[in-house]
Structure 1
Amino acid sequence: MLRSLFAGISGLRANQTMLDVAGNNIANANT
């Protein structure tokens, strides 16, 4: 249970990081 919880959290963090990078790339492209 705990292991799957940590796996889900790390997956969410990786997804959030990818979204942040994509957002930064879009913002930089618009300038």
Structure 2
Amino acid sequence: GTDELKGLSGTLKIVIAEGGKHYYEFDYELAD
């Protein structure tokens, strides 16, 4: 369920690389 995401905070970035390829970068922290 979504309970696992309690206390989860982060940022999602879409990175555009050379040649037009793109990928996602997700940096997150879990609160104690």
TM-score, reference length from structure 2:
0.19
Structure 1 length normalisation: TM-score? 0.18
Determine which structure has the larger strand proportion and give its number.
Answer: 2
Higher helix share: 1
